[in-house]
């Protein structure tokens, strides 16, 4: 990952440079903030991670009509270098919000915000614990690390205990395949580890037959799953997937191999609750998934930023601040039993 970067114009920026940067921070970026509207800097340090981009989009939508956002897309951040953050923080910014893509970038950002006494809100990826304690105005908004994997493992465990036929070789060990890879954020391997721990906590021994840690799209996952089925055949008893695309790709391969008809089924678990995943649950092809509520994370990251800017109370956000640092947005299990609940849509 490239070094952390940001954009911004010096307080005395000239009009020519403002025009060049307008596409990144908006045509009014060199004017004073409108009366009563705080200026919040939104720094996005990735252009490739769809989860991070969805959180940022929710942040922006939440701010419409209420705050002036100095936004910075990832490509512009990469082109400007680290001095860009200094210029940005001189723009009468009340809060700095950062979509973190590499935890190693956090320390420098924290130091710069601390020097300017500007509160800093991270989202998408949490900084390291030793960086979070470097200043009392550093916060993180997101789901608890590993919670999606824990919930995924709990769904799989409940199925295993109530469907003994899943143990096809009767050895009391769940043989599974795992897609653990994902874009950008380092939480994906942790999800898989948390899933296996949840199985163990439920008294279930497990064995990995194969795993794939690379980022895969749906078609790539289908091909990988087809190869695994050719290699392991009837040994497979569960498929754990770290994203929607890998779960759907695994299902595509399983269907081609004759699964999900005539009562032949296998538990496939995913992460994410897009329309295709919900449809697969409804059809009985996807046992369950976990909603990592990215829209709520963006909304709460903005709400915390607004409170830190002096417009609102942190206590009114509806979620507690843990250790004066972390605002944890809960994940949600989705199975056929709760598929039609409003929270699942």
The pLDDT of residue 335 is above 90:
yes
Residues 249-303 pLDDT 10s: 999 999 999 999 999 999 999 998 989 999 999 999 999 999 989 999 999 999 9
Q: Do domains 15-143+294-329 and 147-292 have the same CATH topology?
A: yes
The pLDDT of residue 29 is above 90:
no
Residues 66-82 pLDDT 10s: 999 997 765 555 555 56
Q: What is the pLDDT of residue 344?
A: 43
Q: What is the pLDDT of residue 188?
A: 59
pLDDT average, residue stretch 118-146: 95
Largest interatomic CA distance in the chain: 74
Rounded to whole angstroms, how far apart are CA atoms 11 and 113?
17
Rounded to whole angstroms, how far apart are CA atoms 247 and 268?
7
Q: What is the pLDDT of residue 71?
A: 78
238, 176 Cβ separation under 8 angstroms:
yes
The pLDDT of residue 209 is above 60:
yes
How sure is the predictor about 242, in pLDDT bands with cuts at 50, 70 and 90? confident
What class, spelled out in words, does domain 15-143+294-329 have in CATH? alpha beta
Domain residue spans of the chain = 15-143+294-329, 147-292
pLDDT average, residue stretch 46-54: 80
How sure is the predictor about 30, in pLDDT bands with cuts at 50, 70 and 90? very low
Residues 178-196 pLDDT 10s: 998 654 445 556 778 899 9
Residues 172-182 pLDDT 10s: 999 999 998 65
What class, spelled out in words, does domain 147-292 have in CATH? alpha beta
Task: Output 173 or 26, whichever has higher pLDDT.
Answer: 173
Lowest mean pLDDT of 2-16, 49-63, 208-222, name the range: 2-16
| Alpha-carbon torsion, ordered 123, 124, 129, 135, to 10 deg | -20
Mean pLDDT of the chain: 84
Q: What is the pLDDT of residue 279?
A: 96
Rounded to whole angstroms, how far apart are CA atoms 188 and 289?
14
Rounded to whole angstroms, how far apart are CA atoms 142 and 44?
15
């Amino acid at each position: 990952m490239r070094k952390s970067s940001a954009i911004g114009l010096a307080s005395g920026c000239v009009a020519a440079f403002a025009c060049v940067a307008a596409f990144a921070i908006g045509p009014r970026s060199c004017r004073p903030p409108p009366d009563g509207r705080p200026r919040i800097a939104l720094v996005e340090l990735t252009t490739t991670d769809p989860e991070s981009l969805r959180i940022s989009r929710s942040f922006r939508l939440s701010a419409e009509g209420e705050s002036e956002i100095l936004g910075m897309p990832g490509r512009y951040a990469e082109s400007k270098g680290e001095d860009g953050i200094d210029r940005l923080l001189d723009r009468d910014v009340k809060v700095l919000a950062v979509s973190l893509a590499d935890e190693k970038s956090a320390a420098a950002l924290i130091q710069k915000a601390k020097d300017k006494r500007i509160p800093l809100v991270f989202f998408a990826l949490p900084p390291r614990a030793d960086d979070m304690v470097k200043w009392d105005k550093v916060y993180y908004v997101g789901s608890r690390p590993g919670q999606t994997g824990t919930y995924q493992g709990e769904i799989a465990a409940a199925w295993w205990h109530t469907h003994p036929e899943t143990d096809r070789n009767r050895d009391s060990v769940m043989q599974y395949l795992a897609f653990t890879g994902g874009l950008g954020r380092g939480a994906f391997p942790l999800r898989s580890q948390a899933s296996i721990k949840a199985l163990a906590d439920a008294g279930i021994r497990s064995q990995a037959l194969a795993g794939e840690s690379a980022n895969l799209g749906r078609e790539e996952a289908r091909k990988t799953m087809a190869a695994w089925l050719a290699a392991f055949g009837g040994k497979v008893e569960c498929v754990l997937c770290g994203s929607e695309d890998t779960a759907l790709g695994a299902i595509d391969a399983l269907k081609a191999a004759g699964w999900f008809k005539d009562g032949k089924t296998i538990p496939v678990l995913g992460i994410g609750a897009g329309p295709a995943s919900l449809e697969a649950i409804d059809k009985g092809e996807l046992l369950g998934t976990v909603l990592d509520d990215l829209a709520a994370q963006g909304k709460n990251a903005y709400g915390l930023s607004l409170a830190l800017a002096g417009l609102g109370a942190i206590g009114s956000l509806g979620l507690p601040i843990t250790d004066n640092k972390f605002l944890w947005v809960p994940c949600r299990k989705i199975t056929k039993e709760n598929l039609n609940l409003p929270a699942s849509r």
